[in-house]
Amino acid sequence: MALKDRISLGMSLPHRSPDPLDVATVRQVAQRAEAVGFHDLWVTSNALDHVYSFDAMGVLTFAAAATTRIRVGVSVLVLPVASPVTVAHQVATLDHLSNGRAILGIGIGREHHYHQFQVPTERRVRRFREGVEVIKALWTESKVDYQGDIFRLEGETMTLKPVQKPRPPIWLGGDHPDAIRRTAIIGDGWMGSGGSSKAVFGRSVPILKAALKEAGRDPQAFPVSKRVFMSVHERADVARAELDRWFTVVYRNPAGTDASGVHGTPEQVRERLEELVDMGANHLLLNPVCRYAEQVEALAVVVGLT
């Protein structure tokens, strides 16, 4: 059975690269991914960066304008370093401009994010949880009264509500067991980090499914995803070299090439993606690291879309 018949499949837009980014390629990837049947388009959120990176909401809005059906999501936005009011408004706007196709992916992030944005790391979990509550309230309530330890709103109104009802889905990232258990309580989906190893993903899925059961939620209906940094080429050595360059330059972690990424011939890539599905993924975000337009075509064949 083809992968497309077993899971839903996402495609990353070209948005973060050691090489200059090309807007025409973003449009081409978005439109071709929609045409062949990918379910969603994704970007990460990186502002202060040592490589080229587009603003997440900007490039998603651009992609939404170039397409009509495919969903658009960010995974992940580091919520505690952002204003939840701003995020709620940005995503509500994206949902309108895309006619109800927005997905918000959020995470707690790493310590350097807090230094970059001059936000204290103390109580970051509380800041995160309250931020989620504020966003949900602004999306669903006509007038918001919120009294938290971090955030407070008194009779505030965000008249622009999302198109999706009751609200756009919120996916959580993070591989720490606490983050995974938190997802089962407040999230609408979970995505394993592209920088984390396949072994970590395999250990995380059972934790998530157990937490979902404990929360009274259906593990089979809950999106369980993995971002997969990857390269496919008829020559396996070329594919590995391309991915190794990306992990070395962008993630500064060459060991991730084999521990976290997927590379090889179409047959090898298909086999490795199947392994992730066998671990429990019901969604995969395929994230080519170069030759973006070519990779969309090649991966569409690998997963059975064409």
pLDDT digits (tens, 9 = 90+) for 97-113: 999 999 999 999 999 99
Q: Which residues contact 60 (CB under 8 A, 6 or more apart)?
A: 13, 41, 43, 72, 73, 74, 94, 98, 102
Residue 270: predicted pLDDT? 98
**Per-residue tokens: 53:** 């990176």
Residue 68: predicted pLDDT? 98
How would you classify residue 155: left for phi > 0, otherwise alpha for psi between -120 and 50, otherwise beta? left
| Listed residue (38, 35, 14) closest to 26, CA to CA | 14
pLDDT lower than 70: segments of the chain: none
Q: How many CB atoms are closer than 10 A to CB 13? A: 25
| Cα 60 versus chain centre, distance | 12
Distance CA 283, CA 126 (A): 29
**3-state secondary structure at position 283:** strand
Domains of the chain, CATH where assigned: 3-302 (3.20.20.30)
Residue 96: predicted pLDDT? 98
Distance CA 229, CA 250 (A): 11
pLDDT digits (tens, 9 = 90+) for 78-91: 999 999 999 999 99
**Per-residue tokens: 298:** 């090649």
Residue 128: predicted pLDDT? 98
Instruction: Please state the pTM of the whole predicted model.
Output: 0.97
Beta carbons of 38 and 305 less than 8 angstroms apart: yes
